[in-house]
Structure 1
Amino acid sequence: MKPIFAGYSRFPQFLLLIAMGAPLAWGAQAPRIKFDHVHTYAEVVSYLEEVVAAYPEITRLHTIGQSYLGKDLLVLELTNRETGDGLDKPGYWIDGNLHAGEVAGGEIALHTIKTLTSGYGSDPKITSVLDDKVFYIMPKLNPDGSDHVITRPDNLRSVVRPFDDDGDGQKDEDPGEDLNGDGYITMMRVRDPNGALRTSPDDPRLMVSVTDGDDPTDWQGEWTVYTEGVDSDGDGRFNEDGVGGIDINRNFPENWQPHPISYQPGPYPLSEAESRAVVDFQLTLPNLTGLINYHMSGNVAVYPPSNQRVDPLSGDKVRASFEDEKIYKRMGGKIADLVKDDVEVNVFKIHGASPASWHGSIWGTYVDWAYFQNGIFSWIFEFGVYPQTTAALPARPSESERLRISDKMGGKLFVDWQPYDHPQLGEVEIGGFLRKIYMPDYGTYTSIGCLPGERYDRLLEAHTNWHLYLIEQSPLVRVTETQVEALDGDLVRIRARIENTGLLPSYVTQQALDTGIAVPVRANIELHNAALLSGSASMEIGHLEGGSSRSGKRRAWVEWLAKTQAGNGTPMATVTAVSQKGGTDSRNLELR
């Protein structure tokens, strides 16, 4: 669908926005949204339109590009523009649904939008945050892929652009199929004495490796397993080339590698519409201090690097700086406290060095680009992929643990094996674990990690609170004191104290400082009915440390000499502190 918004133009020519009135707008009703299913792109567009109409003074809707199928890529900006434009405030970015089936991030983003808009003006913390800072929230980074997974029985990792997965010169020619018409694509098992699996002695619904167990006499093959479907292209393999294939989280320019070094990274960095749009737009937001990119793989908060980086000159291994890593661990510890589950917080696997050991060699990731090239704190949070209506599960629960949870939920997560006459394999059995559940009230599928319930609601709230915590860490540069001293004649001395009242330094990361992309703080002065005699109208004062730093300067005094002029009006000065990451702040002074 093509949503039509009144009063917005397309990026990059202009920032796309809708803005009018004050929250709540006169006659508007607060938008309603329930987290009892995963929302489609159309539902998200409708909700964002309602949010902008209801809260025009604190929202702007940006269209930053179009997806492969032509859907508008939407980012909601949230800040009180009465206290300044968003670009003049520290910013934080949140997105979800980069990977098609990892839908929790989109729901977390929507929950954060609901909390911020409904709380502004009544909740002191939210009001303070949106007065001084700005959120950029993108619920659907990959709307094509998300809708595909939500509305169809098959699964998809990333974008829908056709891709030749198996290298046979054809694209998307052998997807999985729902053969038995139950609404799901599960697994097929075929009896095979040479198969790699046999029936579990503990539960006949499960299978184990042939060599599982201590008694070699039990090591007899029984089953070969396939994804449900047929061999559509006749190459002897089943469902090896489904819809899409390119992984946009291997498509970013930092540490990018071609296939097969990196798995399905696209033909070149930023070849995909979605990744290119995100990078292009974020480069117009120099005020960003951090971002979270949500995924679903078992309660893990991870930070860069995603793979081993090597300095091209020295050949030394490179990781996040020691100073930045301390901050990463503190930030990650907060979500562990909020979620109250066993959340791992660590760097991605570096040759086995990380507890997040299932991450293999990962190249060209979004968060690596954001940290190493854009100089901001970037996170991947892997939301739990298994049902959040129960107690926390291990990051990689065993099949017996998953089956136990399914049984407690009335068998919702497992389809019992049923015989089926396969046109190519003959007699097979179809069944196995589900990754999503059909919701007949909505006609869509919901990930089993997003099944509604009290615990799921609590996790949505916990992540929203983490977002507030993270943006509150931002630098916040202010003019905290001014002095005007009358000298001989018409001369005046003007002094101002510029201070970082936030927690992070004005450069945000040591990475930004080390690579030279951090922009120093400046102090500007504008005179009315006065002339500047000494001192620069725009004075660089360097970087200012934040409250989390144990050393270094947090504040600096600047001084100017001016001569007042007779004329209309009182001689005035406007002193402005300008920090790329810490915002802009001004004070007006009478020169007398």
Structure 2
Amino acid sequence: MKKLLILAFSLCSYLAFAQQKTNSKEQAISDELTGLRAIGSPANPKVPMRWNHYNDYAGIAKFCQDMAKAHPNLVKVESMGKTFQGRDLWVMVVSDFKTGNPERKPGFYIDGNIHSNELQGSEIAMYTAWYLAENFGNVEFITNLLKDKTFYIAPSINPDAREDFIRKPNNANSPRSGMMPLDDDGDGYVDEDGYDDLDGDGNIVQMRRKSPLGRWKQDPNDPLRLIPAKADEPGEYEILGYEGIDNDGDGLVNEDGAGRYDPNRDWGWSWQPDYIQGGALFYPGTLPETQAIKKYIMSHPNIAGAQSYHNYGGMFLRGPGAEEDQQYYASSDIAVYDVIGKLGEKIIPGYNYYVIHKDLYTVYGGEIDWLALGRGIFTFSNELMTSYLLYRQKATDDNRFQNDEFNQFSKYLLFDDAYVPWKSFKHPQYGDIEIGGSKKNYVRNHPGFMLEEDAHRNMAFTLYHANQTPKLDIQNISSRSLDNGLTEVTAVIINQRVIPTHSAHDVRFKIERPDYITLKGGNVVAAMIVENADLGLTREQKNNPATIEVPSIPGMGNVKVRWIVKGNPGKYTVSVDSRKGGVVEKTM
């Protein structure tokens, strides 16, 4: 009996070992997670990360370094340059480094947080890098994407002011600028310490004062909320603005913070001075951050698509920022934007695809115009977070003070964590007032539990865009003998994605060099682009015939090229060298 028990135990152990070996991957996942992996999420990430909070500069830097250390074959970290205050502008280069030179793959640039109070752009950029690296080898789409493409992901391109927003008292709308001191109202005074936190609670909220001349009253159903008094009824309160004092005696409160300029008005396409475009500085590229980013992007001509993350409003925005620049958007380029933008509306319910100048307002000197029109890069700017996400329905009224969706959301889902209750305060200039209202990280920025879902959906939109950058293949090489010892060699190169190797705007203004298609293995005496094979229409290239220069390989299209080679047919190799489409080669 004892031997039988030992044998049975040994058999059970062997079966358990065999089962463990057979399902080692699944078992490891189960052991680590003690449960079942949720579909669409990385199992056992090498860099554990929570996506329900906002990281400071140290957190962002640590994340970048941790990613490079954990995934050395997929992630490396570079600095694009220094900020005004001397911080590094970190960028993660994400690609499968084992499958070719990352700088010769089609590239995709992502950045966030150009405005300091628009925090979640950084988290969504970081989430994208994390998701790509952690799912490589497990999700086929992600694996193929990193084999084919290279991502340049800059979580924060305004880290000085991000740090100021996180560390110092601010309101939800300040500061949008960087941290360069600037006397932008010409009164000779700059308060580099920022807002005055009257009660020292870390929040810059609203000031109100009871007054028979005021036109606001307390909502009888919600004591935290002010609503406009009706035309035929008296008001109770006047709103005095955000918490603070008049530091320089000019009658204005909170107008003297450091740098009331806009980094997204500092770019060299359609730039206008401050008296035309508010927020502009002294010339295009005044800021060291702008200069560093431009230099980095121009040193990576493989970048074919780009994404900039902003807030607020739930929008996929394309240029141009100004109506007069609409002339630079050819119908073929607009068609590409339409394919991507309209799918985005399905990927993220509540977000809408818009044109900046047409559907919003005029912007001069914006980053996405410089990318799209200055560099020929297909670029979107996503405005993150929208009131639709609160209850999955459209706002009842666009006027913030005419609806109480955010107040109700805070009450029922955040348990009033988003608001500072009104309390009395003795103001040195206004006398008896009350201070209260929404905290700085509410309304514009996602509540924690909503951040990961919107990060994933926006990442999915961006990855769809990135996947539509050119993917080239040499479909066919054929040859036929001609008279007088000549051979005709024809090649067909196809682009399997929506985005062409050059935008029509790029071709028109010759922003980037043409695509090179080269024949090796023969003495080439003539070369041509076949414009219509059925009618026999060709366009000859007389100089350097071995390498044919093609203006663009269209999205979901092809080009046909032909060489005349002297001598006996041999072993021919065709190579395609495209800045934004990558490098491919095929031998007949």
TM-score, scaled to structure 1: 0.81
1:428 corresponds to: 433
Q: CA deviation at 1:256?
A: 1.1
State which of 386, 400, 409 in structure 2 corresponds to 1:398: 400
Q: Is the 8 A contact 1:541 1:556 kept in 2?
A: no
Deviation at 1:572, TM superposition (A): 5.9
The correspondence for 2:354, drawn from 346, 352, 361, is 346
Deviates more, 1:411-420 or 1:579-588: 579-588
SS in 2 for 1:450: coil
Q: RMSD in angstroms over aligned alpha carbons?
A: 2.9
Question: Residues 161-176 of structure 1 correspond to what in structure 2 (within 5 A)?
Answer: 161-172=180-191, 175-176=194-195
- SS, match of residue 403 in structure 1: helix
1:522 alignment partner in structure 2: 516
Is contact 1:38–1:450 with CA below 8 Å preserved after alignment?
no
Map of 1:377 onto structure 2: 378
Once the two structures are superposed, residues 271-292 of structure 1 have per-residue CA deviations (whole angstroms, 9 ceiling, x without a partner) of 0011111111111222222211
Deviation at 1:362, TM superposition (A): 2.0
1:295-333 Cα distance to aligned partner (Å, 9 max, x none): 1112011111112226xxxxxx73633333333232112
Q: 1:450 to 1:207 in 2, by over 3 A?
A: closer
Q: Distance in 2 between matches of 1:279 and 1:396?
A: 36
Corresponding residue for residue 35 of structure 2: none
Is the partner of 1:114 in helix, strand or coil? helix
Amino acid at match of 1:180: D
Mark the CA change 1:297 to 1:77 in structure 2 (over 3 Å): closer, same or farther. same
Partner of 2:498: 503
Aligned to 2:164: 148
CA distance in 1, matches of 2:148, 2:464: 14
Contact kept? 2:490, 2:560, Cα under 8 Å: no
Residue correspondence of structure 1 range 171-190 to structure 2 within 5 A: 171-172=190-191, 175-190=194-209
Query: Separation in 2 of the partners of 1:306 and 1:542?
Result: 27
Q: Does 1:465 align with 2:460?
A: yes
Change beyond 3 A, Cα 1:193–1:133: same
Residue-by-residue CA offset, 1:360-393 (whole Å, 9 max, x unaligned): 4322111111122212221111001669675466
Deviation for aligned residue 1:113: 0.6
Residue in 2 that maps onto 1:15: none
Match of 2:329 among 317, 320, 323: 320
What is the CA deviation profile of residues 53-81 of structure 1, one whole-angstrom value per residue up to 9, with x for unaligned ones?
22222223221111111111121122223
Q: Which residue of 1 aligns with 2:30?
A: none
How far does the alpha carbon of each residue in 1:201-238 deviate from its partner, in whole angstroms, 9 at most, with x for none? 554433334xx4252xx144632422112222222221
Q: Tell me if structure 2 keeps the 8 A contact 1:386–1:448.
A: no
Question: Unaligned stretches of 5+ in structure 2?
Answer: 1-43, 528-544
Give the Å deviation of 1:487: 9.2
Match status 1:331 vs 2:340 = yes
Contact 2:315 2:383 in 1 (8 A): yes
Structure 2 letter corresponding to 1:156: P
Aligned partner of 2:323 in structure 1 is 308
Rounded to whole Å, the distance in 2 between the matches of 1:462 and 1:338 is 6
Cα distance in 2 between the residues matched to 1:78 and 1:202: 51
* 1:29–1:54 CA contact under 8 A, matched in 2: no
Equivalent residues, number: 521
Cα deviation, residue 97, structure 1:
0.6
1:556 is aligned to 2:575: no
In 2 relative to 1, CA 262–54 (structure 1 residues): closer, same or farther, beyond 3 Å? same
| 8 Å contact from structure 2 (residues 109, 151) kept in 1 | yes
Matched, 1:100 2:142: no
Corresponding residue for 2:274?
259
Q: Does 1:449 align with 2:445?
A: yes
For residue 461 of structure 1, give the secondary structure of its aligned residue in structure 2: helix
1: CA distance between counterparts of 2:482 and 2:138?
47
2:423 to 418, 424, 445: 418
| C-alpha contact 2:73 2:97 (8 A) present in aligned 1 | yes
Identity of aligned residues (%): 27
In 2, the alpha carbon distance for the partners of 1:281 and 1:396 equals: 40
TM-score, normalising length: structure 2: 0.82
Aligned residue for 1:82, secondary structure, equals coil
